[in-house]
Amino acid sequence: MSDIVLCKSPKKPIILGIESSCDETAAAVIRGRKLLSDEIISSAPVQALYGGVVPEIASRAHTDAIDEVVARALKSAGVKKEELDAVAVTYGAGLLGALLVGLSFAKAFSYGLGIPLIGVNHIRGHLAAAYLEDESLEPPFITLLASGGHTAILYAKSETEFEVLGSTLDDAAGEAFDKVARVLSLPYPGGPQVEALAREGSCSVPLPVMLKGEGDYHFSYSGLKTAVINYVHTKEQKHEEWSRADVACSFQHAALDILVKKTAEAAHEKGVKTVTAGGGVIANGYLREELAKMCAREGFKLVLPAKRHCTDNAAMIASEGLLRYRAGLFSPLSLNAEAYIPLG
């Protein structure tokens, strides 16, 4: 890597981001914090036929799509590959076969062009999505992370350092949405389906509020999920009428209200003025509204990524790539894909 040329455009580096950890093959180009292009080819419609992501299908779909998605991203950004300053790529966590497609492609780009490779932790990518939304966003701030694999409240001390204040003790919020979707016979991916159904219902089903003690930032979703399953089974066994929309609405409120409450507590405790969020569940309209109301009431500035930057995308990987580029955090070409990376 000795022939790498650093900082062709030091203040506003042009970075290609690549994401292939699950069922989206994505590529994006940024110049500084400005997003120049943002492309996704998704295998979700095929995965939906199987009721979830089949790893082998995901790997094959990435292999088919990666060339095209990167070419599209460069073309719509109006950037030649020789102009890139770095390539940032998700190296974990995720499906190994899927990750390896993006990672191998990024390594070849880095080696061929003599530019740095920046391995990005997918979750840090979700957290960095907010930087694309607001040029002036600066730590410290509190971030609510809610995705298919994680639910946590974090304190961002600097652009590259986070303290985990609390996290889920069992299921992640997105996982709970997906499981409840199955109980309600809704197709994959479940989160947006539950949200849509919830809009037609009222919150009339008594469900336990998930709290693991006041004064901490830990969550538990398995009790809530079990309560939904028990409610539905009991109604069916007794042949009683019940409303799927009311269950969806009641579950959504129980699952999300606690996140808003705990985020407010964390922001007050840390004395920050700004709240951000990231991860697929943050695309939920009810959660976005409740976060906005809470921040208006409590006097915090709220920076939410656009909905398309909450679910998996490459713009967030490029954004995290920029933070690491500025900090000089580059990766060797020996970087390996990781199925699991601890949050801390």
| Minimum CB–partner distance for residue 192 and ligand KG4 (Å) | 4
Q: Taking CB under 5 A as the rule, does residue 312 contact Zn ion?
A: yes
Per-residue contact flags (x/-) with ligand KG4 for residues 304 to 343, judged by CB under 6 A: -------xx-------------------------------
Of the candidate spans 73-81, 233-241, 278-286, 290-298, the one that interacts with ligand KG4 by CB under 6 A turns out to be 278-286
Rounded Cα–Cα distance for residues 226 and 211 (Å):
15
> Tokens for 315?
């713009």
| Minimum CB–partner distance for residue 255 and ligand KG4 (Å) | 8
| Minimum CB–partner distance for residue 181 and Zn ion (Å) | 17
| 171 binding partner (options ligand KG4, Zn ion, none; Cβ < 5 to 8 Å by kind) | none
| Minimum CB–partner distance for residue 43 and Zn ion (Å) | 15
Exposed e or buried b per residue across 58-85, where buried means at least 16 C-beta atoms within 10 angstroms of its C-beta: bbbbbbebbeebbebbbeebebeeebbb
Amino acid at 325: Y
| Closest of 286, 127, 122 to residue 191, by C-alpha | 286
Rounded Cα–Cα distance for residues 115 and 83 (Å):
10
Per-residue contact flags (x/-) with ligand KG4 for residues 109 to 148, judged by CB under 6 A: -----------------x--------------------xx
| Minimum CB–partner distance for residue 11 and Zn ion (Å) | 29
Q: Could you identify the residue written with the tokens 């190994």?
A: 96
| Closest of 32, 95, 81 to residue 325, by C-alpha | 32
Of the candidate spans 95-103, 199-207, 281-289, 325-333, the one that interacts with ligand KG4 by CB under 6 A turns out to be 281-289
Nearer to ligand KG4, 85 or 195 (CB): 195
Nearer to ligand KG4, 259 or 272 (CB): 259
Rounded Cα–Cα distance for residues 296 and 305 (Å):
17
> Which of 13, 17, 116, 149 forms a contact with ligand KG4 (CB under 6 A)?
149
Q: Taking CB under 6 A as the rule, does residue 279 contact ligand KG4?
A: yes
| Minimum CB–partner distance for residue 268 and ligand KG4 (Å) | 26
Q: Kindly report the number of other CB atoms within 10 A of residue 215's CB atom.
A: 6
Site for Zn ion in 144-203 (CB under 5 A): 147
Contacts of 22-25 spanning 24+ positions with Cβ under 8 A:
22/53, 22/58, 22/94, 22/95, 22/98, 22/312, 23/47, 23/53, 23/58, 23/61, 23/98, 23/312, 24/311, 24/312, 24/313, 25/61, 25/62, 25/65, 25/66, 25/69, 25/101, 25/102
Q: Taking CB under 6 A as the rule, does residue 178 contact ligand KG4?
A: yes
Q: What are the residues whose beta carbons fall under 8 Å from the beta carbon of 293, sequence distance 6 or more?
A: none
| 227 binding partner (options Zn ion, ligand KG4, none; Cβ < 5 to 8 Å by kind) | none
Sites of contact with ligand KG4 (CB under 6 A): 126, 147-149, 174-175, 177-178, 189-192, 195, 279-281, 283-284, 311-312
